[in-house]
Amino acid sequence: MHPIHKNETGLFQELARNKDVKFGQISLLVINPGCSRGGHHHARKEEWFCCIRGQCRMDLANIHSNATKEILLDESARYFFKVEPFWSHTLTNISKAKACYIIIIISEEYNESDPDTFKFEG
Global confidence as pTM: 0.88
pLDDT 10s digits, 72-106: 999 988 889 999 999 999 999 999 899 999 999 99
Residue 106 covered by a domain: yes
Nearest to 55 by CA among 88, 99, 90, 14: 99
Task: Report how many domains make up the chain.
Answer: 1
Residue 81, CA distances (Å) to 23, 41, 47, 50, 111 in order: 14, 15, 8, 7, 23
Is residue 16's pLDDT more than 90? no
Residue 49 lies in a domain: yes
- pLDDT score of 1: 63
Backbone phi and psi for residue 32, each to the nearest 5 degrees, phi listed first? -70, 155
Per the structure, the complete domain to which residue 98 belongs is given by: 19-110
